[in-house]
Structure 1
Amino acid sequence: MSQQTSPQAVYIHIPFCTNKCFYCDFNSYVLKDQPVMDYLHALDREMELTVRETPPGTIKSIFVGGGTPTVLKPDEMEYFLSSVKRHFPDWADDIEFSMEANPGTTDLEKLSVMKAGGVNRVSFGVQAFQNDLLTGIGRIHNTDDVYRSLENARLAGISNMSIDLMFGLPNQTVDMLNESIDRALELELPHYSIYSLKVEENTLFHTLFQRNQLPLPSEEDELNMYLLLMSRMKAAGYKQYEISNFAKPGLESRHNTTYWRNEDYYGLGAGAHGYVGGQRHMNIKGVSPFVEAAKTRLPRLEQFRVSREEAMEDFVMVGLRMLDGIRSSDFSDQFGASLESIFEGQLQKMLNAGLLEPHADHGGYRLSERGILLGNEVFGEFVGALTS
């Protein structure tokens, strides 16, 4: 089980958006008429109650996601960031403080407030470099907004930037993705997240999919898109350190690596998930119910202890998302048991199928080249292996 008693990573959720993208099933709400300051006060209260219950260690990473955190006005942003600093005052000298941003919502004034409040890394949701594709997925920005936002971030003194791209979008071709990768690489950013569209329930795309009205690329084209992006990113000097993430050496997302290593983190805000001291929790999702609950208590929807068996499964499943894989010594340090003895059948099956391979030093396991393409099949082998 996780032995860490003072979490060193913080996730904070800002659930507001200018509009709802057609593929999005995140806990987000259109900004118009929302009680934004009430929400930020409730978040401040949740931080106060949280650190009282579990005092933080030296904070190594903070990630503000959404929604679109950058829809906050400059004065709201300033209040929010001062709140974070007040409740989590002990920051590592090299803290990674990331905030998600929509290219249409980041002017120089707001980015300057973010920088002054400690934000030193921004992740822009670009998704594609073709305006028709962006309109088709419900994004409100265009490619001009992307370039303007990146320039504003640099002017504000933020150089550590990442952009998200998507593939497998309706009406997207392999050539279109190739063009998006061209445009993305021209920016010479330290980090890129590039992931495939998943049609989730309770989205407009799911409704269209059910009606056979969503013109998705073929499976073959989607596979070719993934193969293309892997080879292009590698040729450009980016390390694929996780199934969907690419970085210049040493500039991998430290916050996300916390998740993939199954380490403790605070989860704050409406609908946020956290993992502290062997317990997982999920917060109340709705904005008003969250605000009301936080007046008197931690705004939890549910909280439960993770069993040793489930923690073992999680260790393997999330750890194998990273292309460096998992270490047998890390497993035995955490659980006092041998990885091979607990998952002997599953590991052997995946090794025989050519989807896993031992580390060169025989210290653990990682996805093979073929396993990267069939990751879900590998992870599925460990789901419920000990708990079903």
Structure 2
Amino acid sequence: MTPGAVYIHIPFCTHKCHYCDFTAYVVGGQPVDDYLDALEREMARTAAEVPPGRIHSIFIGGGTPTVLEPQQLEKLFNDIRRHFPDRAPGIEFTVEANPGTTDPSKLAVMREGGVNRLSFGAQTFRPDLLTKIGRVHTVDDIGHSVEQARAAGIDNLSLDLMFGLPEQRVADMEVALDRSLELEPAHFSVYSLKVEQGTVFHKQWLQGELPLPTEDDELEMYQLTRRRLEAAGYHQYEVSNFSRPGMESKHNATYWLNEPYYGLGAGAHGYVGGWRHQNVKGVSEYIRLTREKRPIADSHRVPFVEEMENHLILGLRLLDGLDTRVFRRRYGRDLGDVFGPVVDDLLRRGFLHTEGERLALTETGLLFGNEVFASFLGEAVI
């Protein structure tokens, strides 16, 4: 399938958060303009090798894309328009933003460039906890940035929240939900902290200096989030995502439905023509390589069995589950023939349920999702 989605990575930020293991570098002293030139070269080479069709979603992530200056943003949007010109009606064009890094001039450029959705990394509304996790914005910045976005005509807004943070209490999550709901975003992404290797938090954890909440408190934060957002009219459509009706993230659905997408920029991942690839992470190396070829560090064709495993593991993250008829059309096999024993076991244990042709997580399965997903690895019957 020709990719209908584009991911573009801007690896610069004002400060790297203590939990972040993404490809991201503090922007000071970085060759940002050279990087944007290199990004345009990668777009050109990629579009020449795999000509794009109609694009239904564009997502610019980071890092913090909104550290770019207005003229840099304008160049980026012009380059995207030139190399990915055929846009579907109703295209979703998202930019990730940290509160406090947007202003009217940047927002005007984004609106002119076709951006119609912003994803703000709020994370928490407890001021001292923002500092502890390495965020540089304030609580007031969150509301102010939302107001500015709406004033600029960008109404499709998403807020990221985190739970399971060091020293975070259930009451802190309650406050975060109260304050977030007052802002009335269209969408929420609510993630549990994962202590990733190479981060500040990982170093603290190894030294026994990371005071994480108990598993019971973390579970209560998640269940509290689900109750509060459902009561406020938000539909939980994925393990960590909630939206107003019709405002689900189109771009993230590309990943969960295991569909192809272009991945551009330092450290970006892509999935095209049955091949997955990851670009080089270093900014200087990325810039250098784009002068000669596509800046790919690693690529591999996804084996047929792995493709089917991915389809289940990603698709079951959606609360509506996956359509077994789509699986049959895509792989030429009945899901039950390939994963029957695993599915039967998970049904028996109450982790999965069926509804017509759909297979989905139960309430219990949702809480033990990682165990469910891991059950499919290496278990295909071919």
TM-score (structure 1 length as normaliser): 0.97
* 2:53 is equivalent to residue 57 of structure 1: yes
Q: What is the SS of the residue equivalent to 2:136?
A: coil
SS for the counterpart of 2:375 is: helix
Query: Residue 230 in 1 paired to residue 226 in 2?
Result: yes
Is the partner of 1:263 in helix, strand or coil? coil
Alignment of structure 1 residues 2-21 onto 2, 5 Å: 4=1, 6-21=2-17
**Match in the other structure for 1:161:** 157
Match of 2:21 among 18, 25, 36: 25
Please show how residues 130-145 of structure 1 align to structure 2 within 5 Å. Answer: 130-145=126-141
Q: Show the counterpart of 2:288.
A: 292
Residue 361 of structure 2 aligns with which residue? 367
Counterpart of 1:250?
Answer: 246
Listed one character per residue, the Cα deviations across residues 165-197 of structure 1 (whole Å, up to 9, x for unaligned) are 000011110011011001111111110001110
5+ residue gaps, structure 2, are: none
Deviations 1:264-321 (A, max 9, x none): 1000000101011111111011100000000010100011111111100000000001
Q: Output the amino acid matched with 2:73.
A: M
Deviations 1:334-366 (A, max 9, x none): 00100011001110111111111112xx20210
Could you report, residue by residue, the CA deviation over 1:214-237 in whole angstroms, capped at 9, with x for unpaired residues? Answer: 111101100111111111111111
Task: Deviation per CA, 1:117-146: give whole Å up to 9, x if none.
Answer: 111000000001111110010000001111
Question: What SS does the corresponding residue of 1:198 show, helix, strand or coil?
Answer: coil
- 1:273 corresponds in structure 2 to 269
The amino acid of 2:144's aligned partner reads R
SS at match of 2:278: strand
Give me the whole-angstrom Cα distance separating, in 2, the residues matched to 1:276 and 1:211: 41
AA paired with 2:327? F
- Partner SS state of residue 80, structure 1: helix
- Matching residue within 312, 316, 327 for 1:316: 312
Matched ranges for 1:126-205 at <5 A:
126-205=122-201
Counterpart pick for 2:344 among 339, 348, 369: 348
**Pairing of 1:74-113 with structure 2 (within 5 A):** 74-113=70-109
Please state whether the residue corresponding to 2:210 is helix, strand or coil. Answer: coil
Determine if the alignment matches structure 1 residue 44 to structure 2 residue 62. Answer: no
Shift in Å, 1:386: 3.6
Alignment partner of 1:381 out of 350, 353, 375: 375
Listed as ranges, the gaps of 5+ residues in structure 1 are none
Distance 1:228 1:146 in 2: 22
Say whether 1:329 aligns with 2:325. yes
Shift of 1:155: 1.3
Please give the alpha-carbon distance, in whole angstroms, between the structure 2 residues aligned to 1:385 and 1:263: 22
Letter in 2 for 1:234: E
Tell me, what secondary structure is at the counterpart of 1:93? Answer: strand
The amino acid that maps onto 2:354 is: P
Question: Aligned equivalents of 2:92 and 2:265: distance in 1?
Answer: 19
For the residues of structure 2 that align with 1:104 and 1:67, how far apart are their CA atoms?
14
SS of residue matched to 2:121: strand
Once the two structures are TM-superposed, the CA of residue 385 in structure 1 deviates from its matched residue by: 2.5
Structure 1 counterpart of 2:53, one-letter code: G
Q: 2:354 and 2:132 mapped to 1: Cα distance?
A: 43
Quote the Cα distance in structure 1 between the aligned partners of 2:139 and 2:377.
Answer: 40
Counterpart CA distance in 2 for 1:383 and 1:147 is 43
Distance in structure 1 (CA, Å) of the matches to 2:335 and 2:217: 37
Distance (whole Å) between structure 2 residues aligned to residue 346 and residue 115 of structure 1: 48
Q: Distance in 2 between matches of 1:183 and 1:69?
A: 25
CA distance in 2, matches of 1:141, 1:189: 19
Q: Distance in 1 between matches of 2:240 and 2:377?
A: 20
Q: Percent of counterpart pairs with the same letter?
A: 55
RMSD (Å) for aligned C-alpha atoms: 1.1
Amino acid at match of 2:242: F
TM-score, structure 2 as length reference: 0.99
Distance apart, 1:257 and its partner CA: 0.3
Residues in 1 aligned to 2:202 and 2:358: alpha-carbon distance in whole angstroms: 39
In structure 1, what residue type is equivalent to 2:370?
N
Structure 1 residue 383, shift from structure 2 partner: 2.1
Rounded to whole Å, the distance in 2 between the matches of 1:186 and 1:329 is 41
SS in 2 for 1:164: strand
Give how far 1:330 is off.
0.5
